[in-house]
Amino acid sequence: MKTGQLTDLLSGPVEGLLPPGRMVTSDEGDGDVQPLWFSDRTVTAGLWTRMHAEHARSGLWPLLLDSLDPNDDEFRPWASGEIFPERMSSPASHDPAVLLAQWWADHTAVDEEDDMLDADERLAVTAPFGQTWPGLAPSRQTATDPDHLVAEFAQAFLADRPQTRLGLVVAASGAEALTAAGWNGPCNYDNATGKFSAVVRDWEHRFAARVVAVGFATLHLSVAAPPTTEEDALLVAAEHFAFCPDNIWQGRSPYTLTAYAERLTGVHNWDFWWD
């Protein structure tokens, strides 16, 4: 993202609504790539909701930005410029079903020389599927207004993380904003954010998911159409494991797909963390 386009949009419908802030320059390149506007101070849920409502007119997707360390003045990765839009592929160039199946195969494979779980333990984690990819969960319809839910989630997120800042990115959706901003959170598993954006974009369609907040290696979604049955929740849990295995490997005990699925049923927010 060259500086001009984002700067021009900041002088559009959102002008006069924003707190003091600045453009963030990527660590890479020659300094003319500034994919993100970043607020200099914390923000309110009301401002994020207003920016979200203005997206259709402004072309700017608002992100609640969390940091690796809230006590660090660098506010990594955002203020420190640890963003890499130049490396990103387009989400449209990836098939989310293929990606999830491949990641599942990678995470359930047993490496006898370097593996934190033995074969039996790994199969127990992903029971009842084991190493067999079960396929995608079905789409769900919802009567719940996704925009109402995102406002509620933004308020809850800010109450829990008052250090959060506002980011604005030129993007058609939250999924595409992750790539446009140059976020590199899952890099320890796959250094290609466009792939993760492709999956999130698919969730936007299948589950009315919306990207609300993102941190150094965390991602937080509001979900208007979560799974409501045990069968569907297990399939969604399998997608989450493929997408972010640390949610289960290093999440809340017991560390199994089945236990994780129980915590997904009817829940309107999905949170991810990559070690």
Residue 240 is assigned to a structural domain of this protein: no
**Residues with Cβ within 8 Å of residue 202, at least 6 apart in sequence:** 96, 97
Residue 117 is assigned to a structural domain of this protein: no
The CA distance from 211 to 18, in Å, is: 20
The CA distance from 134 to 118, in Å, is: 22
Coil vs helix vs strand at 220: strand
DSSP tally for the chain: helices H, then strands E: 10, 7
What is the value of pTM for the model shown? 0.93
The CA distance from 174 to 44, in Å, is: 19
Q: What is the pLDDT of residue 7?
A: 82
Residue 184 is assigned to a structural domain of this protein: yes
Q: What is the pLDDT of residue 3?
A: 46
pLDDT tens-digit profile, the chain (275 residues):
444 578 888 888 888 899 999 999 987 755 678 899 999 999 999 999 999 999 999 999 999 999 998 788 889 999 999 999 988 999 999 999 999 999 999 999 876 555 566 677 778 899 999 999 999 999 988 878 888 899 999 999 999 999 999 999 999 999 999 999 999 999 999 989 999 999 999 999 999 999 999 999 999 999 999 999 999 999 999 999 999 999 999 988 789 999 999 999 999 999 999 98
Q: What is the pLDDT of residue 113?
A: 56
Residue 244 is assigned to a structural domain of this protein: no
Residue 264 is assigned to a structural domain of this protein: no
* Radius of gyration of the chain measured on its C-alpha atoms: 19
Q: What is the pLDDT of residue 12?
A: 82
Tokens in use for 256? 């199994």
Give the count of domains, the chain: 1
Coil vs helix vs strand at 238: helix
Residue 26 is assigned to a structural domain of this protein: yes
Q: What is the pLDDT of residue 30?
A: 59
Residue 60 is assigned to a structural domain of this protein: yes
**Sheet order of strands, 36-39 included:** 21-24, 36-39, 165-170, 60-65, 209-214, 218-223, 269-273
Domain membership of residue 50 as a residue range: 3-87+146-223+269-273
Contact in structure between 47 and 166 (CB atoms under 8 Å)? yes
Residue 62 is assigned to a structural domain of this protein: yes
pLDDT tens by residue, 32-73: 788 999 999 999 999 999 999 999 999 999 999 999 987 888
